[in-house]
Amino acid sequence: MTSLFSRVVRAVKQLSSEVVVGAQCGSAVLRGAHVFTPGIIASPKCKSPVVQSMLLYNTRSACDVFLFFLRADMKTGDVVSVFSDLEGKCTRGATSFQGKTAFVGNGVSEVERSSIFCSDKPAKGVGIRMVEPLYWSPSFDGVLPNLAFLQNLPSVVVGHVLGPRPGERILDMCAAPGGKTCHIAAIMGDQGEVVALDRIRNKIDRIRQNAQMLHLRSVKVYCFNSTQAVSSDPALQTEGPPFPPESFDRVLLDAPCSGLGQRPNMACTWSLKEICSYQPLQRNLFHAAVRLLKKGGVLVYSTCTVTLAENEEQVAWALKTFPCLTLQPQEPHIGGEGMPGAGLAPEQLRLLQRFSPELTWDQTQTTAPLHCRADKDTIGFFIAKFLKN
Ligand SMILES: C[S@@+](CC[C@H](N)C(=O)[O-])C[C@H]1O[C@@H](n2cnc3c(N)ncnc32)[C@H](O)[C@@H]1O
Residue numbers belonging to the annotated binding site for S-adenosyl-L-methionine: 174-180, 198, 254
Under the banding of pLDDT at 50, 70 and 90, the label for residue 135 is confident
For residues 252 and 302, the answer to whether their CB atoms sit within 8 Å is yes
Provide the H-helix boundaries in the chain.
Answer: 2-8, 23-30, 113-117, 153-162, 179-187, 201-213, 272-276, 278-292, 312-321, 346-349, 370-373
| Residue 171 falls inside a structural domain | yes
Burial (0-12, 13-18, 19+ Cβ within 10 Å), 72: middle
Residue 106 has pLDDT above 50, yes or no: yes
- For residue 341, pLDDT over 90 is answered with yes
pLDDT, average across residues 213-236: 94
Is the ipTM of this structure higher than 0.90? yes
Within this chain, do residues 19 and 86 fall inside the same structural domain, yes or no? yes
CA distance 251 to 293: 6
Residue 12 inside a domain? The answer is yes
Task: List residues bridging with 326 in a β-sheet.
Answer: 387
Q: What angle, rounded to 10 degrees, do the helices at 312-321 and 278-292 form?
A: 40
pLDDT in tens, 259-300: 999 888 887 778 999 999 999 999 999 999 999 999 999 999
| Beta carbons of 248 and 194 less than 8 angstroms apart | no
Whether 252 and 106 share a structural domain: no
Q: Which ligand 1 atom sits nearest the alpha carbon of residue 176? A: 27
Domain stops at, among 78, 102, 133: 133
Alpha helices in 250-321 (DSSP H): 272-276, 278-292, 312-321
Distance 197 CA to ligand 1 centre (A): 8
Assess if residue 198 is contained within a domain.
yes
Asked, for residue 146, whether it belongs to a domain, the answer is: no
- What pTM did the predictor assign? 0.83
Contacts for 27 with CB less than 8 Å, ≥ 6 apart: 84, 264, 265, 266, 267
On the 0-12 / 13-18 / 19+ scale of CB atoms within 10 A, 10 is: exposed
Average pLDDT, the chain: 86
Residues 188 and 326 in one domain: yes
- For 28, phi then psi, to 5°, come to -60, -40
Whether 300 maps to a domain, the answer reads yes
Is pLDDT of 57 > 60? no
**For the CA of 180, the nearest atom of ligand 1:** 8
Bridge partner list, 9: 135
Q: Is residue 147 part of a domain?
A: no
Q: Is residue 78 within 6 Å of ligand 1 at its C-beta?
A: no
Q: Which of 51-60, 153-162, 175-184, 223-232 has the lowest mean pLDDT?
A: 51-60
104, 133, 162 — which closes off a domain? 133
Q: What CATH number does residue 254 fall under?
A: 3.40.50.150
Q: Is the CB of 328 under 6 A from ligand 1?
A: no
Distance CA 216, CA 191 (A): 9
Residues 110, 135 contacting (CB under 8 angstroms): no
Contact between 62 and 154 under an 8 Å Cβ cutoff? The reply is: no
Kindly state the average pLDDT of the residues 45-71: 41
Tell me if 242 CB under 6 Å of ligand 1.
no
Same-domain check for residues 104 and 232? no
For residue 89, pLDDT beyond 90: yes
Q: What is the pLDDT of residue 302?
A: 98
b/e for 291-326, b at 16 or more Cβ within 10 A? bbbbeebbbbbbbbbbbebbbbbbbbbbbeebeebe
- Confidence label for 61 from pLDDT (cuts 50, 70 and 90): very low
- The last residue of a domain, from among 82, 101, 133: 133
Q: Enumerate the β-bridge partners of residue 263.
A: none
Selecting among 276, 304, 324, 372, the annotated active-site residue is 304
Count of Cβ atoms closer than 10 Å to residue 57 Cβ: 5
Task: Please indicate, yes or no, whether residues 127 and 167 belong to a single structural domain of this protein.
Answer: no
302 and 190 fall within a common domain:
yes
* 180 ligand 1 Cβ < 6 A: yes
Rounded to the nearest angstrom, the distance between the alpha carbon of 142 and the centre of ligand 1 is 25
Judge whether residue 150 has pLDDT over 90.
no
- Indicate whether 235 pLDDT > 90: no
Q: In the predicted model, is pLDDT for residue 376 greater than 70?
A: no
How far, CA to CA in Å, does 151 sit from each of 155, 181, 183, 252, 369? 6, 12, 9, 16, 20
In the reported structure, the alpha carbon of residue 194 is separated from the centroid of ligand 1 by a whole-number distance in angstroms of 15
- 128 and 190 co-located in one domain: no
Q: Is residue 171 in contact with ligand 1, taking CB distance under 6 Å?
A: no
Give the pLDDT score at 120: 76
Domain shared by 50 and 179, yes or no: no
Q: Looking at the structure, tell me whether residues 200 and 93 fall in a common domain.
A: no
- Starting at the edge strand found earlier in the chain, the sheet holding 79-85 runs 35-36, 126-133, 101-109, 79-85, 18-22, 40-42
Q: Do both 292 and 324 map to the same domain?
A: yes
167 occurs within a structural domain: yes
| Residue 365 pLDDT exceeds 60 | no
- What CATH number should be reported for the domain holding residue 100? 2.30.130.10
Per-residue pLDDT at 62: 37
* Ligand 1, atom 10: closest residue by C-alpha: 256
State the total domains in the chain. Answer: 2
Give residue 166's domain range: 153-388
64 falls within a domain:
yes
Does 127 share its domain with 180? no
Contact (CB, 8 A) for 7 and 18: no
In this structure, the answer to whether residues 53 and 118 fall within a common structural domain is: yes
Residue 55 — pLDDT band, cuts 50, 70, 90?
A: very low
Active site residue 304: yes
